[in-house]
Amino acid sequence: MSTLRAEQTEEAPLEDLDSFRERARTWIGANLRQVTMEELRWDRANVDEETELARIGREREIQRMLFDAGLAGICFPRAYGGQGLTPAHQRVLNEELVGYEYPRMLQVPTLSPCAAVILEFGTEEQKLRHLPAILKGEELWMQFLSEPSGGSDVAGALTTAVRDGDQWVLNGSKVWTTGAWWSDWGLCLARTNWDVPKHRGLTVFMLPIHQPAIEVHRIEMLNGSREFCQEFMTDVLVPDTDRVGAVDDGWSVGVRWMFHERMLHNSPFVTEAVGAKHSSMYAKVVHDMAVARGTLGDPTVRDLVGEARMLELVGDLLSQRVTESITTGRMSDQAAALVRLFKGSAQTRISTLAFDVSGSEGAAWDDDNVVLSAVNFLMRQAGSIGGGTTEMARNVISERVLNMPRERRLDKDVAFRDVPRGRPSQS
């Protein structure tokens, strides 16, 4: 039984959607601050460290408030601090949160994919120790997945985990970890066996991020943001009790991990105000840019604004349809790649539309022009890379959804230590 359906099997009667909506609406109106879309779309490239930490601290508080009100972990089992309700209840909550503050940065990847993976593969002790803490906002999780040498080839992980009695010793580096510098725990994929093909020698571990054996370096991007981090692990000790899944069977965990990562903001485990997704924000930027330049009356510009809005609507409806189909078993969980491909391609296109509307002013702007600074042309391809590339999504769709022949692989049935690798780059 998939995780998306397992959480709905508890014996306690479900709260009906109308009463749940009324309860959520009353509590939200009485306890949360109203905010604008611009406030939700805060630009992390232009926020100092103190301000960002204060923002994260406030979101932890809101998460705890939601937990105490019985509005956190809607689709998580009650045994682990959740509400044991359905994706329909989560959608209701997301609708009622529109126009209010909510713990946006705490949802991805903490709730999905990290908490979802723990729920599906963790031991009972691991679930009881971490899931309630996550739902209370006490633990923020990151995924230690990508590596400097691997690109999108997650199974090619070079970070090693060597067993030493009842513990493991991890060495290696992970990269593109959003917000690792203010998070608490990492879900880490590491290589435990070099003498089998790459997919068969991986194991997943959980580990606290802030410890002497882990160095966290922040990466400055083209737009000035330093949200991404690279971690260097040197003899990190992890007790075997913090291993997730069987030894050398990390790819079984990884396949579902990738599923939850592709779902991200569309996951029923995520609390996300409707219309606050990244693509929605970019679509609004296209409109706001036309208003700011006084060109909204131009038929050509209106077509561009309309295209952005159309992409937003189609993406949201596609997400809903695929999620419902996976939940009911009509589609394979690998169909989540359909959403990933569309959203990644749409985000790139919407960024291009924003620059088409901005005209020459999109090339340079002063610090006071919030509208123009909201989209950076050099960063427009980021939506096709983060969260698994759109090229990987195409492979998943062709091979696992459409059952087309797999691409030829030269490393198939070859021990990972014997797979040719390029020379390391010289610093």
Residues 132, 67: Cα–Cα separation, whole Å: 9
* pLDDT tops 50 at residue 303: yes
pLDDT one-digit tens code per residue, 98-115: 999 999 999 999 999 999
331-390 pLDDT, tens digit per residue, is 988 888 898 899 889 988 988 898 888 877 766 666 665 555 555 666 677 778 777 788
Distances (CA, A) of 365 to 83, 159, 220, 222, 381: 47, 42, 20, 15, 21
Q: Which residue in 225, 135, 129, 146 sits closest to 179, CA to CA?
A: 225
**Are the C-beta atoms of 367 and 157 separated by less than 8 Å?**
no
The DSSP H or E segment spanning 244 is strand 243-244
Those residues whose C-beta lies under 8 Å from the C-beta of residue 426, and which sit 6 or more positions away, are: none
pTM for the complete prediction? 0.84
pLDDT digits (tens, 9 = 90+) for 214-223: 999 999 887 6
**Per-residue pLDDT tens over the stretch 50-72:** 999 999 999 999 999 999 999 99
CA distance 400 to 220: 36
Q: What is the pLDDT of residues 129-161, one digit of tens each?
A: 999 999 999 999 999 999 998 767 888 999 999
Peptide bond into 132 cis (omega under 30): no
pLDDT band at 9; cut points 50, 70, 90: very low
Q: Which domains does the chain have, with CATH numbers?
A: 3-139 (1.10.540.10), 143-257 (2.40.110.10), 277-401 (1.20.140.10)
Predicted confidence (pLDDT) per residue in 222-243, tens digit: 767 888 999 999 999 999 999 9
DSSP 66-134: HHHTT-S-TTS-GGGTS----HHHHHHHHHHTTTB---GGGTTTIIIIIIHHHHHHS-HHHHHHHHHHH
pLDDT reading at 418 higher than 60:
yes
Averaged pLDDT, 67-83: 98
Average model confidence (pLDDT) across the chain: 88
Tens digit of each residue's pLDDT (9 = 90 or more) over 185-204: 999 999 999 999 999 999 99
Residue 7 has pLDDT above 50, yes or no: no
The dihedrals phi and psi of 182, each to the nearest 5 degrees, come to -115, 15
pLDDT level of residue 91 (50, 70, 90 thresholds): very high
DSSP state of 294: T
